[in-house]
Amino acid sequence: MQKFLPIIVIVIAAIAGGGGGYFFKTQSSQAKEHASATDEAHGESADNHGDKKDKKKKKKKKGGHGEEETSSTVYMKFGRQFVVPVVRGGRPQAMMIMDINIEVDNELGETVYAYEPRLRDAMLEHLIMKAGEGDLPQMLEDTAMMEETKAELLAISKTIIGEGALDILIQDIGIQSY
């Protein structure tokens, strides 16, 4: 019996922990549903007597000059990173991985994602060309080369998207030598 005592304690603790977790999960989801229902009910009556939460939200949205701060730009994030082979003399030397985003005018919104395949194709073509010239790996050491590459990618983006493309953001770069 003493041999089975630790196993029994572990099983009981596991059952109690699982039951407690399930209970907590159901209670917290019910509390969220109740809170959202209460907020909706208070939101309708906020016109009659004002809601403190709404006033606080309005205060947070206002800038230093009393006007609302709204972002005039959004960021287009590509679905996948750019994988660029660095080839010299017909032999692969390294592989670069880049995470590139485009800052676009807010008016374009979600419609900019319709251009993603064309943007990816044109940008990847340009990055492969720069990698073949040996310029792409130099970006890691030379900030002027990085800015030049970003400017070239922005020009490519503007030919596809139009003047709504505002800036190129390189979020991450990785290089793996062979």
Residue pLDDT, tens place only, 133-152: 888 888 888 899 999 999 99
3-state secondary structure of 90: coil
Q: pTM here?
A: 0.60
Pairwise CA distance, residues 44 & 53, whole Å? 13
| Cβ contact 98:84 at 8 Å | yes
DSSP string, 128-170: HHHHHHTHHHHTTT-HHHHHHHHHHHHHHHHHHH-TTEEEEEE
What percentage of the chain has pLDDT greater than the value 70? 65
3-state secondary structure of 105: strand
Question: Quick count: other Cβ atoms within 10 Å of Cβ 61?
Answer: 11
pLDDT at position 49, please? 45
Pairwise CA distance, residues 104 & 75, whole Å? 6
Pairwise CA distance, residues 120 & 100, whole Å? 10
Q: Which residues of the chain have pLDDT under 50?
A: 38, 41-69
Residue pLDDT, tens place only, 13-23: 777 766 666 66
> Which run of H or E residues covers position 15?
helix 5-49
